[in-house]
Amino acid sequence: MRRGKFITVEGIDGAGKSSHLEFLCARVRAKGHGVLLTREPGGTPIGEQLRKMVLHQPMPAVAEALLMFGARSLHVNDVIEPALEAGTWVICDRFSDSSFAYQCGGRGLDTHVVANLEALVHPALQPDATYLFDVDPATAYERQRKEGRSPDVFEREQVAFFERVREAYLERSRQQLYRFHIIDASGTPEMVRSILAAEFERTFA
């Protein structure tokens, strides 16, 4: 059985990534592979409970990181690895790059802390491809305001926070060029979709 591919989707809040996840799944299926769509924080029953806590209760960055990686440990062991082993492709809405971007870039946690947690929790697993939806934080903020949902602890942050999150994502992408694909997410959903489709086909030609 050929191992499945592990694809992650990242970006600042309001970048619009979530609206393209089903589309990505359809592209994988069109290639003849089974696909599992999952998300972080979350993806397991305990992980979903941790999600509720971490998104709605302000806490120190180190506590945030530990809860994210606690949830991630269960997710990798119980869901992601078994699926990949069985040949299923996994598309994950956020993964450890979010911890580097939000807990380190946004909150100021030392990157060594998150690098150590990453090495502890998934020493042998990295995404085969990461689609980073990149947009300037002012545009993302406007999009979110229009959605009108009640904001979680991250969505309540100011534009300066998301500038730092964005920069941390871009820095990480420069360090791991082989797997990062930067998607210009400033255009209409149709424009973004066609960029994503072309990039996906290039990755998995």
Largest CA distance in the chain: 47
Q: Which stretch binds ligand TYD (CB under 6 A): 73-81, 91-99, 116-124, 130-138?
A: 91-99
Query: Binding to ligand TYD by residue 13, rule CB under 6 A?
Result: yes
Shortest Å, Cβ 27 to ligand TYD: 21
Neighbours of 176 (CB within 10 A): 12
- Of 129, 130, 143, give the one whose Cα is nearest residue 187: 143
In the chain, the amino acid numbered 117 is: L
In the chain, the amino acid numbered 21 is: L
Among 20, 75, 94, 172, binds ligand TYD (CB under 6 A): 94
Shortest Å, Cβ 87 to ligand TYD: 25
Query: Binding to ligand TYD by residue 130, rule CB under 6 A?
Result: no
- Of 40, 99, 50, 102, give the one whose Cα is nearest residue 75: 40
Query: Binding to ligand TYD by residue 134, rule CB under 6 A?
Result: no
CB closer to ligand TYD out of 113 and 204: 113
Q: Are 98 and 14 in contact (CB under 8 A)?
A: no
CB closer to ligand TYD out of 4 and 42: 42
Query: Binding to ligand TYD by residue 10, rule CB under 6 A?
Result: no
Query: Binding to ligand TYD by residue 99, rule CB under 6 A?
Result: yes
In the chain, the amino acid numbered 67 is: L
Query: Binding to ligand TYD by residue 116, rule CB under 6 A?
Result: no
Among 4, 16, 28, 40, binds ligand TYD (CB under 6 A): 40
Residue 86 is given by DSSP the state T
Q: Are 9 and 128 in contact (CB under 8 A)?
A: no
Q: Are 54 and 41 in contact (CB under 8 A)?
A: yes
Residues of the shown chain interacting with ligand TYD in the complex, contacts defined by CB under 6 A: 13, 18, 40-41, 55, 68, 93-94, 98-99, 102-103, 152, 154
